[in-house]
């Protein structure tokens, strides 16, 4: 199938995303209120817009770091082979860590990342995901906080791409391939 022709139908509006990010930040701030500094680890590249909005809403001292993983390439299907393309710059041993993910889909990437981070002995390790597709889960894993549960649709926008396109959309849209 030629994936070059597609349309995008809005699923979650920019206004709904902004409201949910505020709610998530309030819950996370309350949960980590005793932390001297929360290390927020964004999983690149899909989470970069979400993480920037989320950290600005957190009422906590935060440090931001990034991990870059790959399991999709330019495909709409996960290869289930998770590669770390960029590791953290800082140490997390004994620290409070919040992993920020764009989508929890099959769970393979998040599972791989959490095992890797747990081996570095953080004090606490929690996860916030913008989107969750529980119908696609192949690994028993879930985020501590989830923005929205969505059906098994290929989505773009708000930092999430298809073949490096559509990250700049202010909303989450469903990709519908055309003839």
Domains and CATH numbers, the chain: 13-154 (3.40.50.2020)
Percent pLDDT > 90 in the chain is 80
Write out pLDDT tens, residues 52-78.
999 999 999 999 999 998 765 445 455
Can you tell me the distance from the alpha carbon of 73 to that of 50, in angstroms, rounded to the nearest whole number? Answer: 20
Name the residues annotated as catalytic: 105
pLDDT, average across residues 144-151: 97
pLDDT, average across residues 83-109: 93
Write out pLDDT tens, residues 77-86.
555 677 888 9
Write out pLDDT tens, residues 21-45.
999 999 999 999 999 999 999 998 8
What's the pLDDT at 3?
60
CB half-sphere exposure, 147, CA atoms < 13 A: 28
What's the pLDDT at 95?
97
What's the pLDDT at 81?
74
What's the pLDDT at 1?
44
- Average pLDDT of the chain, as a whole number: 92
What's the pLDDT at 131?
98
SS (H, E, C) 149-172: ECCCCCEEECCECECCECCCCCCE
């Amino acid at each position: 199938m030629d994936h070059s022709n597609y349309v995008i139908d809005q699923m979650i509006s920019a206004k709904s995303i902004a409201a949910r990010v505020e709610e998530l930040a309030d819950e996370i701030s309350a949960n980590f209120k005793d932390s001297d500094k929360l290390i927020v680890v964004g999983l690149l590249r899909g989470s970069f817009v979400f993480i920037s909005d989320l950290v600005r809403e957190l009422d906590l001292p935060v440090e931001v770091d990034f991990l870059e993983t790959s399991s999709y390439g330019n495909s709409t299907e996960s290869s289930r082979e998770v590669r770390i393309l960029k590791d953290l710059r800082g140490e997390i041993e004994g620290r409070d860590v919040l992993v920020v993910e764009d989508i929890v889909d099959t769970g393979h990437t998040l599972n791989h990342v959490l095992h890797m981070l747990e081996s570095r002995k953080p004090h606490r390790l929690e996860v916030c995901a913008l989107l969750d597709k529980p119908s696609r889960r192949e690994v028993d894993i879930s985020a501590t906080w989830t923005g929205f549960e969505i059906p098994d649709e290929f989505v773009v926008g708000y930092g999430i791409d298809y073949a490096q396109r559509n990250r700049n959309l202010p909303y989450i849209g469903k990709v519908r391939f055309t003839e």
